[in-house]
Chain A
Amino acid sequence: MVAQPASDELKVGSNLEKVLRSGQFAVCGEMAPPQTCNGDFLRRKIDIFKGNVDACNLTDNQMAIVRMSSIAAAKIILDEGLEPIIQMTVRDRNRIAVQADLLGAAGLGIRNVLCISGDHMSFGNHPSAKAVYDLDSLQLVHLVRQMREECMLVSGEGTPPKPSKPDAPWNKVPTPLFTGAASNPFGDPAEFRVVRLAKKVAAGADFIQTQAIYDIPRLEQFMSQVRDRGLHEKVFIIGGVLPVRSPRALTYMRDEVPGMSIPEELVQRMESAEDREEEGINICVELIEQIRGIEGMAGVHIMPPMWEKVVPEVVSRAGLLPRPTFEGSRE
């Protein structure tokens, strides 16, 4: 039931955008770059994702733990034929660095960016770092859209700022990035979550990736508010799922991760399961099917922390294969 802003007009032409605009239910994966410079860490996982997802997120120093940069990691997987979605936080970069990295990412052929505020450095391995937060995530969404549509920086200068010759035409160079933002349907204050989503759409988000979903009734409530505002017709909403292998993973998220809603029933299912890996996959597949059945959901984002190899089975059992291909796509 994809009631979406399907259209033939491509803004950027990334594979993710093509899948979404074609009206098909999209599948995103996610990889955490290594905590070393070892690019093979990513290359080894390419076959898990390639052909099973439409694009793959690369996290940006998630949990504020130092890792290979998301842009560098994205270039590594791009070269292997897997489309990246770089995550970009405003925690570590001021507007100068943000814009330089957006130009660099687009220059390397990266076409999707997810704009987020980032986990606070107090959670990570450098809690003594100075916070930046020059922009917020909404302002970053607006900036990415502005650099693409208006060829303009935060300062109001163009890209490039001046024509090369006084009488030369104004050769503006757009920065082609399909613009993503995050939304947490389970965060507080609950009534304001949809308002903030509307603000992200107004700021220029093309797609939304949500917090990991376990609580379908609450997602349904949220999506009902989304539909009341017609937001599902303006932005592609991709629901996050996070497969788990133990009840402990669920209770940890319930108790320790802010903005998570974990139904007790799922914890009990994991506790009583004989084969917990199998039950974790069952739950994930069921969640995907339920998400897919909600009007306005345009795709699913599978985030398997340290359990990437489960992705092909989840995607297959959820009936999401084969993934669409498009003429002229890199392969």
Chain B
Amino acid sequence: MIVADRKSLDDIVDMIGDADKVVVSACNACVTVCLAGGRREAGILASQLRIHAKEHGKDIEVREHSLARHCDAEFLSDLDEELEWADVMISMACGVGVNLASELHPKHRIVPGLNTTFYGATDAPGRWLEMCGGCGDCVLHKTGGICPIVRCAKSILNGPCGGSQDGKCEVDPETPCAWQEIIERLEAQGRGDDLIAVEPAKDWTTSFSGGRRRRVVEEIYEEDEEASA
């Protein structure tokens, strides 16, 4: 799932500026699971904004709202009425939701209430860990299912670097050394020798430095184009 953090109240107050009518729209998908942008968090933000306005002698109206998913156009049409009313909408969705809502409602001001951080999983209640960098050229079959691109601080493909000690990363003693984990896992599988070969320079063309990426399934895409034509 996509993991996110809420922006600070100060940042959000700055973004909304002098808007009088504000809608806070929660997303009931990933960001609800990671306790960043669900109904509960949207409710908290709305309350904080009301209190902040009162303390600063401002008169603003804040409405709360939620959608099943912000990353699907089908659900985003439910925003029409709220957007007509509001001066600004604070999206509690991930960056995908903010992009798509803004694309579908280009006349309206939609601002992010969250900082979208990573693709991850719940590790323990209240803790989420990054698992994948979406590089577009998966190497997990070679590394025992442990992603060196995002789990190694230097994205090393032939690790570990000299800073691995006691199984921890030199950059953060709370973070396990991904390469120590990779070596241990492959050895436990009797595949330690897989790590002897030198992994060549990675082809990053599938990654995110070439502008917006897209995925097309031709038959479906063309069929849909024809149907809508």
Contacts and interface: CB of A to CB of B under 8 A. Distances in A.
Given A154-B201, A188-B180, A259-B163, A136 B196 contact: no
B164 A133 contact: no
A95 B201 CA distance: 9
Contacts of B161: 117, 137
A227 interface: no
Most buried by B among A134, A137, A195, A196: A196
Contacts, number: 95
Given A122-B171, A133-B156, A199 B162 contact: no
A195 B155 contact: no
Contact of B162 (A143, A182, A189): A182
Interface residues of B, number: 31
Contacts of B206: none
B154 A139 contact: no
Interface string A117-160: 10010110000000101111111001100000000001000000
B196 A195 contact: yes
B8 interface: no
Contact of B196 (A117, A133, A199, A211): A199
B198 A203 contact: yes
Given A122-B171, A136-B159, A198 B153 contact: no
Given A133-B154, A183-B162, 15 more contacts: A120-B170, A135-B201, A139-B157, A139-B158, A139-B198, A182-B162, A188-B166, A188-B177, A188-B180, A195-B195, A211-B162, A258-B165, A259-B163, A259-B164, A259-B165
Contacts of A202: 198
Interface of A: 90-91, 95, 117, 120, 122-123, 131, 133-139, 142-143, 154, 182-184, 187-189, 192, 195-196, 198-199, 202-203, 211, 258-259
B167 interface: yes
Given A117-B156, A134-B204, A258-B170, A187 B198 contact: no
Nearest to A187: B162
Contact of B164 (A135, A136, A189, A198): A189
Most buried by A among B170, B171, B180, B198: B198
Contacts of B167: 188-189
B201 A120 contact: no
Contacts of B162: 117, 182-184, 187, 211, 258-259
